[in-house]
Chain A
């Protein structure tokens, strides 16, 4: 009986710890080191067109071709929030995703392609 109770207690504690660890990434959590990074591919003229293709292949299905989102859960990417974010913020967010709110982690893309995507996102802000 005691072993069973202890087992249940351990499961409960583990679940609680996992839930604590499971809080999604927020812009406020970005380290200064990540935030202050600049896009190493920003000066390359082909970065925007490459980023546009990566956007079409991976992001457009949720955020739409005009990057205005779906008006519900999928937010627009032409926004003050994106405009005010640093390159480092954007790359960090792409890498982390926000799994609890439906945004996948794009760590599966090579870092260079994430930077190309950042260059594209910058280019569509007006």
Chain B
């Protein structure tokens, strides 16, 4: 499963799949532009994918633990709206660490369900995920237990051997108040290899810079930008439920809705000595509308 940058296969073996993916993406319907998606990187709101839509998203995380090498981690996500109340996602994770190696670090399968069909002051979403990743994963899509910068500083040669099969549950609570979205996530993660439950949290608030539509197609209008902040960190484990001996971050975020997708930026600031000083994140998301209808139409099965 793990592929190192030291591996040098024939060029064509990598070129052909890349060309195939490029051709497939080019042939798919034009990505839609969607307004007011939240630019969170860690926090989830109660917004689910529209039924039948497929979103392709990448989340890049850049950091450098003290006395260690710079790294870049990439999580590529495919998200599909199965129904109005159920969204399913697949993540493929990888990372590259300076002077070490480039690794595929595993995959995650997640599902989100809205149990209540109506909009309330607080809207719950149930989240369940299975992760099959190695200890070398540095995407920090959540912080749980006693996760700290030390975990990110360990050499790939060792951490790539640690295989983690984990189940993760989240209770997502989210509200749209006026133009604000306020979201709270409570995370419980269990390594299926007889390790204790670990806990974490993520909080987010975001708002479009202009709430009224201008009525003109534009790229730099204020309504195309969403700004906010998120805060996330660990809460220890069953044996020691604590805010200390784990990492915490606060991260201002900004999202920019472009004609073909959404670009997001965030700089996370570590709040204690267990955290990295800075984590830079860049996200890109593009949506393929009504992909099922498109396949039915072009496959002639309708």
Query: Which residues of A sit under 8 angstroms from B118, Cβ to Cβ?
Result: 21, 24-25, 96
- Stretch from A2-10, A57-65, A79-87 that touches the partner: A57-65
Question: In the bound complex, do residue A22 and residue B117 qualify as a contact, i.e. CB atoms below 8 Å apart?
Answer: yes
Question: In the bound complex, do residue B215 and residue A112 qualify as a contact, i.e. CB atoms below 8 Å apart?
Answer: no
Query: Which residues of B sit under 8 angstroms from A102, Cβ to Cβ?
Result: 51-52, 83-84
* Residues of chain A at interface, number, CB under 8 A: 38
Q: 1/0 per position for B73-91, CB-CB distance to A under 8 A?
A: 0000000000111000000
Question: In the bound complex, do residue B32 and residue A57 qualify as a contact, i.e. CB atoms below 8 Å apart?
Answer: yes
Q: 1/0 per position for A86-121, CB-CB distance to B under 8 A?
A: 000000000111111111110111111100100000
Question: In the bound complex, do residue B116 and residue A21 qualify as a contact, i.e. CB atoms below 8 Å apart?
Answer: yes
* CA distance in complex: A62, B51 (Å): 10
* CA distance in complex: A107, B37 (Å): 11
Query: Which residues of A sit under 8 angstroms from B215, Cβ to Cβ?
Result: 46-47, 49-50, 52-53, 116
B160 lies within 8 A of chain A by Cβ: no
Query: Which residues of B sit under 8 angstroms from A103, Cβ to Cβ?
Result: 84
Question: In the bound complex, do residue A109 and residue B217 qualify as a contact, i.e. CB atoms below 8 Å apart?
Answer: no
A57's partner among B35, B45, B116 (CB-CB below 8 A) is B35
* CA distance in complex: A21, B250 (Å): 35
- Stretch from B7-15, B141-149, B206-214 that touches the partner: B206-214
Please judge, given known A-B contacts A101-B84, A102-B84, whether A110 and B114 are in contact too, CB under 8 Å.
no
Question: In the bound complex, do residue A100 and residue B85 qualify as a contact, i.e. CB atoms below 8 Å apart?
Answer: yes
* CA distance in complex: A24, B117 (Å): 5
Q: 1/0 per position for A25-68, CB-CB distance to B under 8 A?
A: 10000000000000000000011011111100110011000000
Q: How far is the CB of B300 from chain A (nearest CB, A)?
A: 17
Question: In the bound complex, do residue B217 and residue A112 qualify as a contact, i.e. CB atoms below 8 Å apart?
Answer: no
Q: 1/0 per position for B31-73, CB-CB distance to A under 8 A?
A: 0111111100000010110111100000000000000000000
* CA distance in complex: A101, B215 (Å): 30
A105's partner among B119, B213, B290 (CB-CB below 8 A) is B119
* CA distance in complex: A94, B193 (Å): 46
Question: In the bound complex, do residue A61 and residue B181 qualify as a contact, i.e. CB atoms below 8 Å apart?
Answer: no
* CA distance in complex: A70, B293 (Å): 10
Q: How far is the CB of B107 from chain A (nearest CB, A)?
A: 27
- Residue of A at shortest CB range from B53? A61
B33's partner among A21, A57, A101 (CB-CB below 8 A) is A57
B36's partner among A22, A52, A110 (CB-CB below 8 A) is A110
* CA distance in complex: A113, B223 (Å): 10
Query: Which residues of A sit under 8 angstroms from B53, Cβ to Cβ?
Result: 61
B155 lies within 8 A of chain A by Cβ: no
Which 6 pairs across A and B sit closest by C-beta, in order of nearness?
Answer: A50-B215, A99-B84, A50-B213, A110-B211, A61-B289, A49-B215
Ordered by A's residue number, 22 sampled pairs between the chains whose C-beta atoms are within 8 Å are: A21-B117, A22-B85, A22-B115, A22-B116, A22-B117, A47-B215, A49-B216, A50-B212, A52-B215, A57-B34, A61-B32, A70-B293, A97-B119, A100-B117, A104-B48, A104-B50, A108-B37, A109-B35, A109-B36, A112-B212, A113-B35, A113-B223
4 extra interchain contacts, Cβ-Cβ under 8 A, other than A102-B83, A110-B178, A113-B223? Answer: A18-B115, A50-B214, A102-B84, A110-B212
